[in-house]
Structure 1
Amino acid sequence: MRTLPLAAALAALLFAGSALAADKTDKDKDKDKPQDSKPDAALVQPQSSETTGSVRVEGKSIEYKAVAGTLIIHGTGDKEHEPQISMFYTAYFKKGADAGKRPVTFIYNGGPGSATVWLHMGAFGPKRVVTSDDSHTPAAPYGLVNNDYSLLDVSDLVFIDAPGAGFSRLIAADEDKGKREEQMKDRRKEVYGVDGDGHAFANFITQFLSKYGRWNSPKYLFGESYGTTRSAVLANILENQSSVDLNGVILLSQILSFDTSIDGPETNPGVDLPYVVALPTFAATAFYHHRLPQQPAALEPFLREVEQFALNDYAQALMAGSRLDDARRQAVAEKLHQYTGLPVAYLLKADLRVTGGMFEHELQNDGGVTTGRLDSRFSGPSLDPLSKDSEYDPQSSAISAAYVAAFNDYVRKQLKYGDGQQYRLFASIDHWDFKHNGGEGERSINVMPDLAKAMKTNPNLRVALHGGYYDLATPYFAADYEMHHLPIPASLQKNISYDWYPSGHMVYAHEDSLKKLHDNVARFIGETDNVK
């Protein structure tokens, strides 16, 4: 996994809820393809199932209507009458609310190509699956409980599955088998990429606004992981191509510039930024597992100290490259030891540059233990104690089965949708096109200009950034760095808010953090919905 070229590795690894499906076998992929290539008349017609329910959010009861269904996304230009995607969604509407004043939030996970089961069942849907806080959740039966922290108290919610994931499907409707196969190749090429994905979601949202009469509602985007990359692209498309002014963009576990990723930076020598911005997360993780030579009294003051070292002495040492003298190299290694718990000799041997996989494998390797990636509070037995990098993610292994089982049971029994269909956690993507806006190359996609343009053309647009201190997939300080380097006027920086949590990539997997996440997002919507 970690020996892949950077763009390919990120495409495989940035699943917002689980990295397990990145290792899908060729057999699994082949099993997906015949279903995609069958002509299916049902796919070209929108489907829906309506049910009702109630949820208590922090003591307040909310009655809602739920719609689980699909919208059909057509092509553009000479293909505008050609159905391309059947996109699945689950929408929750508060009963009795004034649609013109009621906010609507479009929610999606990342991947690219992930279903949105994670945010649906872990964060903001009316039901929440119960998982262990920082250890492996026991096998079924799993607990499904009222979600005390659903966002239905402040907004209607639309959970969207990416094309090819969940119950979403690419459409090849021609009756001729050969033509269907060619259509499917075209669909994959058109949709599975930064731009194709962004336009598919933009088309879905504008169609949804028309179908449900929500054009005059306050509108929000909520993306996690690669979903934040999508949100930057999507916000720019909606603002500047569809004339949809958004009230807010909410980013969870952000990555906008892939040059900040601590996964695979060794394949991009000369770019030392990932090591700098990942250091505070290494320090937080070592703090959590008590691997520091001297344990600080509190996490956050310690992280502020590490952040300053990272931006100054550490960044300067890395920038010096081979010019760094031995005495300074030794001093920096000793300071890194104080902040990460890794041995000085190991740090020197690594040339002061430790990747995410190296850190996850090495931090607790003296006990044969691998540290989690998506949530570094988790640990598990090392598959190979002699490996250089971690070979699996203990957090992903610990909770994925609970989410999968809970949603498959919930969607069929309570939402009354999906009988006879397979719910796919991930789309079968052989290649993700990282080229953006006609650019060349796939190494370092950067959508910071997209978000900046959306903010400049809509200077009232507010952005809320959320992240976990224990997230090694998208380190919080990398997200902080990106936002402070957006090409926007200084006056627009006040439109960005920051909230960090003692949790991982899936901030909501830690219940106390879920409550804080709900409260912060609810307050953000209340401050920006423009409802008098």
Structure 2
Amino acid sequence: MKSVTAYMIGAAALVFPASALAQAPKPALAAAEKPKPEKPEEVVPQVVRTLHSGTFGGQRMRYSATIGETIVKNKDGVAEVAVVTTAYVKEPRDPSRPITFLFNGGPGSGSVWLQMGAFGPKRVAIPSDARDDGAPPYPIVDNPDALLDVSDLVFIDPPGTGFSRLLGKADPKEYYGITQDAKLIAEVIRRWIGDNGRWNSPKYLGGESYGTTRSAAVANQLMNVTFNDVALNGIILISTILDFAAGADTPGNELTYITTLPSMAVTALYHGKASAPSVAAFADEARAWAIGPYAAFLLKGQKASAEERAVIRRQLARFTGLSEAYLESADLRVTAARFYKQLLRDRGLTVGRLDGRYTGKDFDNAGENVDNDPSFYGIDAGYTAAVNAWSRGPLGFKTDREYQSIGRILGEWDWRIGGRDDNAYLNVTPYLGQALRENSGLKILVTQGYYDFATPFFAAEYALTRTGIPQDRITYTYYDSGHMMYVRDQDRGKLSADVRAFIRAR
């Protein structure tokens, strides 16, 4: 277990730059004296604390913002990682208040999305109606939907994301992986609550996308694999991915077609390729058909009769908005990647992966796959500009490093969580099942956008309804947007209200 040294400060706007480190002079050695091994060079973290005020959830308050590095050392005392956290704490401080630790996903994504889009005291204002965010300047505005009225907040950027980084000769294999990452983040959380006197505060984890995977793995490290238990009150899963095997687009895996079908249905409805009285009603109908007749047909494989095939083809066309001829050529199994390109091919448009409401235009209309994801390039520039302007400006963080909104560490990620059989079916949901069974006070909130193909809502439901997972303490909420539901103004307010209610309900 590696140790973490965190340096917290109590005055506003104090900075401790690394250049402030002075090396002590070395004493002269006696002739017969053998040189002693030099101590590892200390890395002095930069930590800045500033004071602010704002109105959140209708409540006017003062709060501190502390952005700084937590230095992680190996067993030999050598600094290997600088993890940057941004903490927003109501002033004067109250240790009885809840504290929520938040991170994004990727792996390789910085916490910019949740911080500057959903829950932080400032947010970037980009179009709410699935249009491109265009060019700067992007308005950075007060965020009344921030959660500071109900919880203090700590946004965590794992190494390779945000401003966080590996130091010196640190081996990426020690930190880039499901379990390695979870151990590191759990240790950072332990140190933060220790350094800030928050051991008895109600505690929540919140993650988006792979951040939900991280939430399960970190909860496992905090509660399941240690005798020094850090019990959690709640886990907030935003755009959930837990069961990677079920959604794998690999030949022979029929579950992926079942779990993505409802997302295809509501996206077809949004773009006028299907008809139904409401999104929720069509989603319910698609769920029932996908897990019922469609699943039965897929599992029969080539033993399905021609009559069954004709019925399924007709119904699948109704749900997906695709022609029966196209579905037949795809063997009644349409991958999400093909759907993005095919749904609006007759209009010369593609639909987004992160958010199917977004449309894009490719170089030409003949290909099988899209050139890019319009629901990502439609928002990324605004968020990157906002987090740099806020962190380097009012928060006072000084660095020549580039903020990694989406870091390039995915190719180095270690996806192993156990032996051969564990990784034949990569699924971290059992971590949450154990945590729920062994902590009667733990609850889980699952928030899903209807138009999300990166982490489909039905896939989240499938994962969390397997055996061994108590169902009475899991709540689901849904939004008329996609993976980052908070980009839509109405859904940002709803998400904030849902999370507030979840925290208050303890």
Question: Considering the TM-score relative to the shorter chain, is it more than 0.5?
Answer: yes
Residue in 2 that maps onto 1:54:
53
Runs of 4+ in 1 over 3 A off after TM superposition: 437-444
CA distance in 1, matches of 2:187, 2:305: 56
Tell me whether 1:106 sits opposite 2:101 in the alignment. yes
From 433, 457, 465, the equivalent of 1:484 is 465
From 424, 435, 441, the equivalent of 1:454 is 435
Residue in 2 that maps onto 1:395:
375
The residue identity in structure 1 corresponding to 2:51 is T
The residue identity in structure 1 corresponding to 2:255 is L
Q: Measure how far apart 1:260 and its partner are.
A: 2.6
The residue identity in structure 2 corresponding to 1:350 is A
Return 5+ residue gaps in structure 1 as ranges: 1-40, 173-182
Spell out, residue by residue over 1:187-229, the C-alpha distance to the aligned partner (whole angstroms, 9 max, x if none): 2111111111110101110011111111111100000000001
Q: Measure how far apart 1:441 and its partner are.
A: 7.9
Residue in 1 that maps onto 2:484:
506
Tell me whether 1:115 sits opposite 2:110 in the alignment. yes
Of 447-456 and 340-349, the range deviating more from structure 2? 447-456
Q: Measure how far apart 1:62 and its partner are.
A: 2.1
User: CA 1:61–1:42 in 2, change beyond 3 Å: closer, same or farther?
Assistant: farther
From 276, 283, 304, the equivalent of 1:296 is 276
Residue in 1 that maps onto 2:127:
132
Residue in 1 that maps onto 2:27:
none
The residue identity in structure 1 corresponding to 2:49 is E
> Does the Cα contact within 8 Å between 2:66 and 2:87 map onto a contact in 1?
yes
Tell me whether 1:239 sits opposite 2:223 in the alignment. yes
CA distance in 2, matches of 1:120, 1:335: 42
CA distance in 1, matches of 2:105, 2:159: 11
The residue identity in structure 1 corresponding to 2:179 is D
CA distance in 1, matches of 2:337, 2:398: 38
Residue in 2 that maps onto 1:88:
84
SS at match of 1:322: helix
Spell out, residue by residue over 1:237-284, the C-alpha distance to the aligned partner (whole angstroms, 9 max, x if none): 1013141000011100001110232xx51x2x2221111011111011
Spell out, residue by residue over 1:128-184, the C-alpha distance to the aligned partner (whole angstroms, 9 max, x if none): 101112111121111111101001110000001121211111122xxxxxxxxxx33
> Does the Cα contact within 8 Å between 1:365 and 1:382 map onto a contact in 2?
no
> Does the Cα contact within 8 Å between 1:46 and 1:70 map onto a contact in 2?
yes
CA distance in 1, matches of 2:438, 2:76: 28
Aligned residue pairs total 463
SS at match of 1:358: helix
Return 5+ residue gaps in structure 2 as ranges: 1-39
From 190, 193, 203, the equivalent of 1:219 is 203
Q: Measure how far apart 1:475 and its partner are.
A: 0.4
Tell me whether 1:194 sits opposite 2:178 in the alignment. yes
SS at match of 2:371: coil
Spell out, residue by residue over 1:9-67, the C-alpha distance to the aligned partner (whole angstroms, 9 max, x if none): xxxxxxxxxxxxxxxxxxxxxxxxxxxxxxxx998323210111122224321210000
The residue identity in structure 1 corresponding to 2:182 is G
Tell me whether 1:351 sits opposite 2:331 in the alignment. yes
CA distance in 1, matches of 2:399, 2:415: 35
The residue identity in structure 2 corresponding to 1:477 is F
> Does the Cα contact within 8 Å between 1:85 and 1:170 map onto a contact in 2?
yes
Tell me whether 1:64 sits opposite 2:63 in the alignment. yes
Q: Measure how far apart 1:73 and its partner are.
A: 1.9
CA distance in 2, matches of 1:443, 1:363: 33
CA distance in 1, matches of 2:180, 2:210: 14
> Does the Cα contact within 8 Å between 1:70 and 1:87 map onto a contact in 2?
yes
CA distance in 2, matches of 1:84, 1:506: 32
Residue in 1 that maps onto 2:444:
463
CA distance in 1, matches of 2:62, 2:41: 31
CA distance in 2, matches of 1:418, 1:357: 41
Residue in 2 that maps onto 1:515:
493
CA distance in 1, matches of 2:104, 2:425: 21
Larger Rg: 2
> Does the Cα contact within 8 Å between 2:42 and 2:79 map onto a contact in 1?
no
Q: Measure how far apart 1:440 and its partner are.
A: 6.5
